[in-house]
Amino acid sequence: MSASLFVALAAALATTEIDRKLALTAAVASDWQAGRLDWQDASPVDLVCGRPPLPELVPPRQVPQRSAKSPEGRARLLHAIVHIEFSAINLALDHAARFRGMPRQYYADWISVAAEEARHFTMLRQRLRELGHDYGDFAAHAGLWDMAEKTGGDVLARMALVPRLLEARGLDATPPLRQKLAEAGDQESARLLDIILRDEIGHVRLGDTWFRRLCAECGLEPEATYRKLLREFDAPWPQAPLNESARLAAGFSAAELAALAHPDGSQPAIEKPRRSGVG
């Protein structure tokens, strides 16, 4: 008899012990691939996001600025990215666990993302350890999870405002961070960020795909709906400069990027996006 997918996801989400979360996430992915998990099971589950005691979570403005010019600065910078990847494991698990009645492919997609985020976390944490630190050594913030809580009752809003908004910000932020690390001589960390960016384009593209599919089912125009949701949820508007090539690869249109660049509603002429050399 198949076990409940949702019970397995809830267990992985809830655990606070890092190595156990990684192991349970890998087990969900393996059992799913082997057909051992029932995605139509109706068993009720309580969804709790498990985090380790450290890092201390503080408001974003209280996280110190990080410079790549010193060894500790590079470690702090990398720690921030490690924390984002840990949060992303929980987010993908929650995407799959929270919303019942979705197509089978929806669960397959987010289980796959959870496993990939776990791999990202593991390789970045190992690099952080090579720099003489570990996950939890510095303060971090919980901005990603705050938006997950706000969108917990609406899968359309979740797809719009977590993968398509907050995770898409990583597409913009990663190339400058990579450049800072490379210029500081940390070529190994820069190489890892290349892997992260490549994979995150795919993760954002999944969020875009499901957002557009859900909009179509509701008879909504997706790009106008996206901007409406940004305002309704008082979400942070995408900030320039946007990584146009990465966002286009992740499903954004050139017209949408132009509209996002002008939140006042003005519509400039749309130029052909410049390639950034990323992707």
The model's pTM is: 0.92
- How does residue 265 score in pLDDT terms, banded at 50, 70 and 90? low
- How does residue 102 score in pLDDT terms, banded at 50, 70 and 90? very high
Quick check: 272 pLDDT over 90? no
Tell me the CA distances in angstroms from 265 to 187, 224, 235, one per residue in order.
41, 11, 17
pLDDT at 278: 27
3-state SS assignment for residue 41: coil
**Digit-coded pLDDT (tens) for 130-139:** 999 999 999 9
Quick check: 266 pLDDT over 60? no
Residue 67 near residue 151 (C-beta atoms within 8 A): no
Mean pLDDT of 219-227: 97
Query: What sign does the dihedral 117-260-223-254 (CA atoms) show?
Result: negative
pLDDT at 142: 80
Statement: 53-260 belongs to CATH 1.20.1250.20: no
Q: What count of other Cβ atoms lies within 10 Å of the Cβ of residue 57?
A: 15
Query: Any idea where the domains of the chain sit in the sequence?
Result: 53-260
Tell me the CA distances in angstroms from 52 to 87, 91, 136, 228, one per residue in order.
11, 15, 8, 35
209-237 as b/e, with b when 16 or more CB fall inside 10 Å?
A: bbbbbbbeeeebebbebbbebbeebebee
